[in-house]
Structure 1
Amino acid sequence: MVAVLSALGVTAVLGGCGVTGGSDPVTLRLVAADYGDSAGNSSKKYWDALVEAYEKDHPDVRVEVSVYSWTDVDRKVKEMVDADKAPDLAQIGAYADYAKADKLYTASELLSITTQANFLPQLASAGAVKGEQYGMPFASSTRLLFYNKDLFAQAGLQPPKTWAELKAAAAALKADGVKFPYALPLGPEEAQAETMQWLLSGGGGYTDTNAGIYSIDDPENVKTFDWLKSELVGEDLVGPVAPRSLNRADAFEAFTEGDVGMLNGHPTLMKAAEDKGVKFGMVPMPGEDGPTRISMGVADWMMAFKQNGHAEEAGDFLDFVYEDENVLEFSRRYDLLPVTMPVWDVMSEAKEDAHLKPFLEALPTSELYPVGRTSWAAVNAEIKKKIGGAVAYGGDPATVLGELQARASKEETAE
């Protein structure tokens, strides 16, 4: 999931938009996630302005927007669906289970051909279940290796390009007394992200994209975690907190305090570090023989439920949501990456988006979680629970990855 901070539960009832042409307005209910870190920049303000602009030209549809924190939003939607009160639209973290249960409209039933064609191809593909797109990407991000420029300068280091250089840099940082030479967050909060970035850097991943199956215990992945266990964790280069107990949020906070030499991060870490006066650089994740060509990508999803039968109205509103100026406004407001090619082109060239350029460059070739598989939710939870044990004292990467593969295969069979 893309990073979020605030915890609001505010419902805004906004009036008058539509495509029906009838006298009785249709009401669309949208549940959305909050990307802000305070009431002042809550996503509620974004949706308020967007709906107000839409309603001026569409007097026959009302749009009710409820904004919740990421802690609550997926649960809220599930509760609504379970109670047979599904919203018309939901902007949340996962769609596959609802698609499998035949509760969603397809993108082609909703969107104009232009809107569909504008999505970045790998994001549109990640929104598909068995070749049919149900999840419409709404926000995205990629991961890069962040490094503390001051700590690197003090140690006479250049940013690493290979695993060997990363290890050497971590050893030098440790010798200088850096608390976390390389922060390796494999705790339960977001272990699946750190894991995937490392698997990609070793030439592997969660799935074999050609065969379309899980490949968690493939030799490349075992080799990657063997290296992590022996060369980083085993050499005491990851800091005082065991990776299985270190969460992403805690690693990020330590970086903003100047206690981390290197870690994988996404765009929101930039502002947090800048606010604390930490000077940082960003480079592609080092690989075994050179910089990783494929970064990990993440997307959050928009979906439309069929229960209320408002495909025409929902589709017209979504065409507006995905207009270039609206995608650009949202992306810039929250330092997120755009999900459409026209806006990616704009941001890749604009001076005001220069700070996002490394992430933007990584997006077109990024690889996303296998979110189109209904099995992914269970596999994801199992990775968070177990992967830290692969690098723990006495742990065995091949055994842990094998157990994860067995669980993934079992869940896949049950789909």
Structure 2
Amino acid sequence: MTATAAPLDLLLLPTWLVPVEPAGVVLKAHGLGIRDGRIAFIGPRETALKLATKETRELPGMLLSPGLVNAHGHAAMSLFRGLADDLPLMTWLEKHIWPAEAKWVDEAFVRDGTDLAIAEQLKGGITCFSDMYFFPKVASDCVHNSGMRAQIAIPILDFPIPGAASADEAIRQGIELFGDLKHHPRIRITFGPHAPYTVCDENLEKIRMIAEELDASIHMHVHETAFEVQQAVEQTGERPLARLGRLGLLGPRFQAVHMTQISEDDLALLVESNTSVIHCPESNLKLASGFCPVERLWQAGINVAIGTDGAASNNDLDLLGETRTAAMLAKAVAGSATALDAHRALRMATLNGARAMGLESEIGSLEVGKAADIVALDLSGLAQQPIYDPVSQLIYATGRDCVKHLWVAGKQLLDDRRLTRMNEQELVASAIEWGRRISGRNE
């Protein structure tokens, strides 16, 4: 892999470089060069040192990886973190979260909550995230200003939500935002019907037609709990995934979030339609929603990505920790210690997330020509020694506090754990103030 004569903007020289594609590869004594926001060179250190470059960064003891891709979340819900813990999903939603949202969620809430989530994710090695929450234009402004990359899913429900009085209004807003941002280099707009039990057939068919016309993705909670599936079967005689298949929503642009309940028929539908599944293990564990059978899906050839879900139900946006949980849980669910090995787990948190969002040609692996969305993790600490396989140490022995540097499209957004574009103290103060208001401590 060679670079042209033009000088590199930045040359990174880590101890290990894990490209993710090709699979299972760890490169030692290699360098990575960035030019105009893209990866322009990957090759041996000796060759790299001969190249003209404006800046060289030695990264001893560090592993260079594609930036992590958080394929499902509700960013602004960071401001509800810990508000209603240890409750079942529907009690949590109907008695606590939905009333809190009705009272508190406005543009200011979404702006401050999204900024808080972006900062937490950057510090955890995440370069791209999917967000499904109210006032999506406000969230997209936050992403634009932060320098991060995101998929913004327009929330659509059959009843009024903050920022949209009806499903038709939400869809109209989505079409408008899609048009406004279709050429944005870091933001992709998708449509986010909330769940099969909150969106009727008529609205789902509208969404399908519009998504097809715009070549947009659809992002939706599906089969999150056994109760959801059982209730649908009792009421209609049809499983929710089968209904979505009948309505024509499933396909390579469809992102099915959670999928803890999967029958043989469901599996066949997912395979046949080439639908992606977004696995959110910690939220599913905390709400006792069930277990997505990741290894079974993987062996069937289904693209499985990983998401944190919102901080109100997780309670963090730690994708590295989420991936470790996913790897452990996959082994327990499959009854096999070989299920979801460390290299595949990292792929799930990077390239598979990019593929689910239709961004696999742009991000998700370290390849010449792709956007320079990169994270450097420090494996030189006590807890990572000794290192036999750096990817195993990354997944099983490394926390997000080891994230040292991060770049999105070649721009450094985290430098030695310091956010370069956001003020951490101001974000903390804002979150504390929201907590005071929401808890009623100053009312």
- Greater helix content: 1
Q: Between the two structures, name the one with larger relative contact order (CA 8 Å, sep ≥ 6).
A: 1
